[in-house]
Amino acid sequence: GAVVSQHPSRVICKSGTSVKIECRSLDFQATTMFWYRQFPKQSLMLMATSNEGSKATYEQGVEKDKFLINHASLTLSTLTVTSAHPEDSSFYICSARDIGLADPREFFGPGTRLTVL
């Protein structure tokens, strides 16, 4: 099946620093990728839709200046958490939609655990 990777798998940073998370579709092209955030024992909450070649679409309540998204190619989207604070600590998961498939199936990455000290 289609594979989506994320890097890094876990990161610990100091408060006030910025962290970049990469999401790659390894064996397919994705014009659309999605970024989710998941707090402990909770479900996935969509943060934003990343569109190749255009601006990301953010969900209500998600600060676009804090969570910068860049979808530079058909296989790579990056999420940068700027000026991270302890409340940004969470599990960040990306997904990618294969443009070659007729149905809108999403393939999920393994997630990145961010801990902000």
- Alpha-carbon distance of 112 to 115, in angstroms, equals 10
Per the listing, tokens 């390894």 go with 26
Question: Considering the rule CB under 8 A, would residue 13 count as an interface residue with other proteins?
Answer: no
With binding defined as CB under 8 A, does residue 52 bind other proteins? no
Nearer to other proteins, 4 or 81 (CB): 4
111 scored as a contact of other proteins (CB under 8 A): yes
Contact 34, 95 (CB under 8 A): yes
CB of 46 to other proteins, least distance (A): 6
The least CB distance from residue 38 to other proteins, in Å, is 9
Please report the beta strands in 8-116, taking only residues with DSSP state E, as ranges in sequence order: 10-13, 19-25, 32-38, 45-51, 57-58, 67-73, 76-81, 90-97, 106-108, 112-116
Interaction between residue 58 and other proteins (CB under 8 A): no
- Classified as helix, coil or strand, 51 is strand
CB of 5 to other proteins, least distance (A): 10
Contacts (CB under 8 A) with other proteins, residues 28-47: 32, 34, 41-46
Neighbours of 67 (CB within 10 A): 19
Binding residues for other proteins (CB under 8 A): 4, 32, 34, 41-46, 49, 91, 93, 95, 103-106, 108-111, 113
